């Protein structure tokens, strides 16, 4: 992450749509090509580097119920940064992009692909979320060997989505990153699941001899 571009004091995530000069990002917009690249090649969505043996997913209760994490994986240190730098994960806002993503402005650089952006009809990381109450977000740790791409078809709970499979995947840890908005969905059951995962981790450290959980 040390070599990632910076804009307004913030690291520009690898998957964020940006001009050829990546210090000019389009905040709130996702580069679909880069999104597919990191998912298929098991790379971090923030720094773009290959993921380590243990990765972190940022998930919502709705993601867990559907069995797919729509946000790409992160290195633990990149997840730590994201939880503090992202206004949504940090709990500083209670609504998803009430005004939508940043406008798709074109620049003067003839080699920049921004001239093609106008033809992209749907270029948002969170289609359908704009203006809706923020959900609770959780950090889920898993082993890279359990990483697989999964597509869930459209159903009454949401549109078709491709991401990292969660069903039948043993979580190493599960911790809440932020609470839902005051008028958001109650997620106490997910908090109970996080306690169960923590209890299993403690049991394994005492009986099996797995390392204790010392992560922040």
Higher pLDDT, 214 or 199: 199
The token pair that represents 83 in the structure block: 């939880």
Q: Quote the CA–CA distance of 147 and 80 in Å, as a whole number.
A: 20
Mean pLDDT in residue range 53-60: 98
Is 70 exceeded by the pLDDT of residue 133? yes
Higher pLDDT, 16 or 214: 16
Long-range interactions of 34-39: CB distance < 8 A, separation 24+? 35/72, 38/14, 38/72, 38/73, 39/72, 39/149, 39/162, 39/163, 39/164
Q: Quote the CA–CA distance of 180 and 85 in Å, as a whole number.
A: 18
Confidence of residue 23 (pLDDT cuts 50, 70, 90): very high
- Where is average pLDDT lowest: 9-18, 135-144, 183-192? 183-192
Q: Can you give the pLDDT at residue 57?
A: 98
Geometric angle at alpha carbon 1, from 14 and 53, rounded to 5°: 90
List, in sequence order, every beta strand (DSSP E) within 73-198: 137-143, 149-152, 161-165, 173-178
Is 70 exceeded by the pLDDT of residue 120? no
Specify the residue for token string 């109650």.
186
Q: Can you give the pLDDT at residue 104?
A: 84
Within 13 Å and on the Cβ side, how many CA atoms surround 73? 30
Q: Can you give the pLDDT at residue 103?
A: 78
3-state secondary structure of 168: coil
Which are the contacts of 186, defined by CB distance < 8 A and separation ≥ 6? 180
CA 88 centroid distance within chain: 11
* pTM given for the model: 0.87
Mean pLDDT in residue range 111-118: 87
Q: Can you give the pLDDT at residue 210?
A: 62
Specify the residue for token string 């500083």.
92
């Amino acid at each position: 992450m040390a070599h990632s571009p910076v804009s307004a004091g913030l690291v520009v995530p690898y998957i964020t749509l940006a001009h050829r000069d990546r210090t000019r990002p389009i905040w709130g917009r996702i580069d679909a090509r880069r999104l597919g690249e990191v998912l298929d090649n098991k790379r971090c969505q923030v720094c773009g580097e290959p993921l380590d043996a243990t990765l972190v997913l940022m998930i919502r209760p709705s993601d867990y119920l559907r069995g797919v994490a729509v946000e790409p994986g992160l290195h633990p240190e990149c997840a730590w940064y994201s939880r503090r730098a992202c206004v949504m994960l940090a709990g500083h806002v209670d609504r998803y992009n009430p005004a939508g993503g940043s406008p798709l402005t074109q620049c003067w650089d003839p080699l920049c692909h921004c001239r093609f952006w106008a033809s992209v009809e749907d270029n948002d990381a969170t289609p359908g979320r704009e203006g809706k109450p923020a959900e609770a977000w959780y950090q889920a740790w898993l082993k890279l060997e359990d990483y697989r791409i999964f597509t869930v078809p459209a159903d009454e709970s949401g549109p078709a989505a491709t991401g990292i499979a969660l069903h039948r995947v043993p979580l190493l840890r599960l911790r809440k990153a932020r609470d839902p908005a005051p008028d958001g969905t109650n997620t106490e059951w997910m908090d109970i699941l996080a306690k169960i995962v923590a209890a299993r981790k403690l049991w394994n450290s005492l009986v099996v001899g797995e390392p204790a959980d010392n992560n922040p």
